[in-house]
């Protein structure tokens, strides 16, 4: 059972299989030393979540996995920012502001940003995906599986997971690479909510998948063909990822959600 679960995870996150790593609000003004939210920053660091995000980003760079950093910011004049919830109004009064161009919106250490990384900034809302460039960028990259990391498990991370699932992506969440407040809220959110819609794993398990020897192109194609064939026998019809207008095509369609609703099965 555990071996099959590991094989399924390896298939979903394999570097040549349309996987993208997303970091959510891992910026200095949120998880850095001078955070607007010191309690969240402290938990992100003490739990090891921020360090694990950095490990995943470094490994993604080595494995040629695309990294996307989602940053929340606001203009100094507040134009376009939300004010329709208590969270937004409270954030506008914090001593540290996530102003565009300030150090607060730079990616926090120890995460290293590579030249090939994409940084997507949003001026409104709660979600890294809704109303931002993240979704079209993922489609153009041929993304099928999105690994979601960062903060917070209270708001932005579940928003990212739900939106990604609604858009048709398969979502993987390394539970030790997200954080929220209080500290014991994160495992409860993972167990009772995120596990219902995403594959829950760990940083080490993903790193092991990326370090494993890659299958040859012919072996990968043969395995993919066998999987499609088996699906066709049971489901009748199959959409092949990457086909014109189909899942994974940058010109349209929806990314495949292979595996549907899963946890650590």
User: How far is C-alpha 58 from the chain's CA centre?
Assistant: 15
68 Rama class: left (phi>0) / alpha (psi -120 to 50) / beta: beta
Please give the pLDDT value at position 5: 77
Please give the pLDDT value at position 95: 87
CA distance 180 to 151: 6
Helix boundaries (H) for the chain: 2-13, 28-31, 38-46, 49-63, 86-91, 134-140, 156-166, 185-189, 195-197, 203-211, 217-235
Please give the pLDDT value at position 213: 62
242 Rama class: left (phi>0) / alpha (psi -120 to 50) / beta: left
Task: Give the pLDDT of the chain (265 residues) as one tens digit per residue.
Answer: 566 778 899 999 999 999 999 999 999 999 999 999 999 999 999 999 999 999 999 999 999 999 999 999 999 999 999 889 999 899 998 989 999 999 999 999 999 999 999 999 999 999 999 999 999 999 999 999 999 999 999 999 999 999 999 999 999 999 999 999 999 999 999 999 999 999 999 999 999 999 976 554 444 445 455 444 444 433 443 333 344 333 333 334 445 443 333 445 5
CA distance 190 to 178: 10
Contact 178, 42 (CB under 8 A): no
Please give the pLDDT value at position 4: 76
Please give the pLDDT value at position 6: 81
**Cα separation of the two ends of the chain:** 8
3-state SS, 220-263, equals HHHHHHHHHHHHHHHHCCCCCCCCCCCCCCCCCCCCCCCCCCCC
Contact 254, 168 (CB under 8 A): yes
Q: Name 178's bridge partners.
A: 150
Which residue from 231, 221, 251 is spatially nearest to 14, judged by alpha carbons?
221
Please give the pLDDT value at position 225: 53
Please give the pLDDT value at position 139: 98
Please give the pLDDT value at position 54: 98
CA distance 156 to 162: 10
């Amino acid at each position: 059972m555990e071996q099959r679960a590991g094989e399924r995870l390896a298939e979903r996150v394999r570097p040549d299989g349309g996987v993208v790593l997303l970091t959510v609000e891992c910026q200095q003004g949120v998880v850095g030393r001078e955070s607007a939210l010191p309690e969240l920053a402290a938990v992100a660091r003490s739990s090891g979540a921020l360090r694990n995000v950095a490990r995943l980003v470094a490994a993604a760079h080595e494995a040629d996995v695309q990294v996307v950093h989602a940053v929340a910011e606001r203009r100094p004049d507040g134009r376009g920012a939300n004010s329709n919830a208590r969270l937004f109004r409270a954030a506008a009064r914090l001593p540290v502001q996530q102003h565009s161009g300030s150090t607060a919106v730079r990616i926090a250490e120890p995460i290293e940003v590579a030249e090939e990384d994409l940084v997507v900034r949003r001026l409104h809302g709660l979600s890294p995906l809704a109303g931002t460039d993240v979704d079209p960028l993922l489609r153009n990259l041929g993304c099928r599986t999105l690994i979601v990391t960062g903060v917070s498990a209270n708001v932005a991370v579940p928003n990212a997971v739900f939106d990604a699932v609604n858009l048709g992506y398969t979502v993987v969440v390394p539970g030790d690479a997200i954080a929220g407040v209080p500290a014991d809220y994160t495992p409860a959110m993972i167990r009772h909510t995120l596990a219902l819609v995403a594959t829950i794993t760990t940083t080490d398990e993903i790193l092991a998948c990326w370090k494993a020897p890659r299958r040859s192109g012919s072996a990968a194609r043969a395995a993919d063909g066998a999987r499609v064939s088996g699906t066709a026998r049971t489901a009748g019809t199959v959409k092949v990822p990457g086909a014109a207008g189909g899942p994974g095509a940058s010109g349209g369609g929806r990314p495949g959600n292979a595996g549907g609703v899963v946890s650590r099965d």
